Amino acid sequence: MLIARDLRIEVGTKTLLDGASFSVQSGDRIGLVGRNGAGKTSLMKVLNGTGQPLEGTVLRSGRIGYFSQEAALPDLEHADATALERILMAREIGAMQRRIEEARHRLESLTGEARDRGIRRFSRLHDEFEAKGGFIAEAEAKRIAANVGIGNTELTQPVATMSGGQRRRVELARILFAETDVLLLDEPTNHLDLDAKAWLIEYLSTYGGGMLVISHDLPLLDEAITSVLALEHGEIEAYRGNYSNYLVEKDRRREHRARERRHQDQTIARLEENIRRFKGTTEKMAKVARAMETRVDRMRRELVEIQKSGKKVKVAFPQPEPSGRVPLAATGLAKAFGDNVVFVDVEFAVERGERMLLIGLNGAGKTTLLRILAGEETADLGEVSLGHNATLGYYAQEHEQIRSGVTVFDHMRQTARLPDQTIRTMLGHFLLADKVDQDAATLSGGEKTKLALVMLVASRPNVLLLDEPTNNLDPQAKEALLDALSIYEGTIVMVSHDTDFVALLMPDRAVLMPDGEMRFFDEKLLDLVALA
């Protein structure tokens, strides 16, 4: 259970939330909604205890599971912990299993009486593990992992060697395995394929504890939640029902406030007209006028506030200098991580102005291939060649280019040599004008996405390499990005699991990973996009 009382949250000099009170009780399934940068992630951190409010208190009881939208490497119990060990460590049996494994390894170097003692210790630990349901729990952990898209091979892989998307799936499985009383979930469907999303929605819709979830995944918000907390302009407002009901009720409340405000304005105007008429007459009528003035002052203090519509994101990729006919080509690319061969003999050539989509299941090597094309990763075999006058712009889904301790403004300065006023204007178009002096690492996930995109715009590339560019974006920002890419005349190579976004952008060709098969894109491939 969570109870928030009179919370005030600030980041830098900006107040994100003021005077908010609400609770998350057992059986509550609440969606926390609001635009990118409204303060949803900051509020979630305060509720979890990893952030502190400027004012107010949070009362917590029971076990709380917090799933962050960040894909940073977590603090591991053991540096070489595998994915399965990381998940199991969410319960006591994880530590028990590690002790059993350490005892087994020690047996290999023991002899005589020491070995006998080691065998007895190993047996005792094994029996304790079994008595506490360890083997049943391990099977449950593997089942949850499989449902969120973690294969058997990944379960044995050290977490430290995993990609950001793989780590997020491991952390999600860990949270769901942990037997929590309250779930705080920040964009849980990012990096999940279609089957994993469907399973998660079903799981959350029957979850018996309290849940607060941030998501831009509308099916999740419609099917898994029963109420909404809307964070807008520093205030929290509660709504009953799912996201679709919230949208209808939000419009109804806005119209009701607008009618009430019009009535208040008309009443004030009528009273002010009477004040002007009575003030210069008899003493009796002047007293009436003064009473009316007092009433008008009180009414002005109690005016219903009508929130202005928020500003819109303006994403505009400047039309680039033209490249040669083939700006980017890959020949015989192969990549492996240890014994895990990701792909072999992938080759293709992208033509100027073409839109190419990389398609494949989780683990098929889409992000790895994009990183190799961007020069962020080295292929084991093969080569990547740039054509005449080709300039690359790489958008990384994990925001690796955004560094801690560097302000938003300095990130832009280091990206492109532009006048300060031009930088401020560009940041304003992406609704980051009030974040210029903020440490970029403290931005929300959606704001980091916007900063990464504005940095990409500032670099003026003629070849865009985009890895899940719509993750963490609210619908309005996603629409702005789609409009910008639709008129962009350069070349695009993209990874995306967002079927609606891909369908509207309509790529020219697709590369099916891990085989590297090249196809002309048609609507039939959207089913594969959904499985990515």
**510's tokens:** 């697709």
3-class secondary-structure state, position 311: coil
Q: Is residue 266 part of a domain?
A: no
**Which pLDDT band, with edges at 50, 70 and 90, does 311 fall under?**
low
Q: What is the pLDDT of residues 42-64, one digit of tens each?
A: 899 999 998 889 899 999 989 99
Q: Is the pTM of this model over 0.75?
A: no
Q: Is residue 475 part of a domain?
A: yes
Q: Please, are residues 484 and 505 in contact by the beta-carbon 8 Å criterion?
A: no
Q: Please, are residues 395 and 467 in contact by the beta-carbon 8 Å criterion?
A: yes
Domain of 477? 328-531
More confident residue, 113 or 487: 487
3-class secondary-structure state, position 162: coil
**Phi, then psi, of 131 in degrees rounded to 5:** -65, -30
More confident residue, 46 or 103: 46
Q: Give the containing element (helix H, strand E) for 317.
A: none
E-state strands within 135-257: 182-186, 210-214, 227-232, 235-240
Instruction: Give the span between the Cα atoms of 360 and 366, in whole angstroms.
Output: 7
What is the bridge-based pairing of β-strands 55-60 and 2-11? antiparallel
Q: What is the pLDDT of residues 462-500, one digit of tens each?
A: 999 999 898 878 778 888 889 889 889 999 999 998 888
Number of DSSP helices (H) and strands (E) in the chain, helices first: 18, 18
Q: Is residue 514 part of a domain?
A: yes
Instruction: Give the span between the Cα atoms of 200 and 217, in whole angstroms.
Output: 12
Q: What is the pLDDT of residues 7-45, one digit of tens each?
A: 999 877 778 889 899 999 999 999 999 887 788 988 999
Q: Is residue 390 part of a domain?
A: yes
Q: Please, are residues 357 and 350 in contact by the beta-carbon 8 Å criterion?
A: no
Q: Is residue 113 part of a domain?
A: no
**Which pLDDT band, with edges at 50, 70 and 90, does 212 fall under?**
very high
Q: Which CATH number fits the domain that encloses residue 453?
A: 3.40.50.300
- What is the predicted pLDDT for the residue at 37? 77
CA atoms within 13 A on the CB side of 407: 14
Region of residue 143 (phi > 0: left; psi between -120 and 50: alpha; otherwise: beta): alpha
- The domain tally of the chain equals 1
Q: Which of 154-168, 283-297, 298-312, 336-350 is predicted with the least confidence, judged by mean pLDDT? A: 298-312
CA atoms within 13 A on the CB side of 380: 14
Range 241-248, long-range pairs (CB < 8 A, 24+ positions) = 242/31, 243/31, 243/33, 243/218, 246/31, 246/33
What is the bridge-based pairing of β-strands 491-495 and 355-359? parallel
Q: Is residue 473 part of a domain?
A: yes
Q: Is residue 402 part of a domain?
A: yes
Q: Is residue 435 part of a domain?
A: yes
pLDDT higher than threshold 70 for residue 310: no
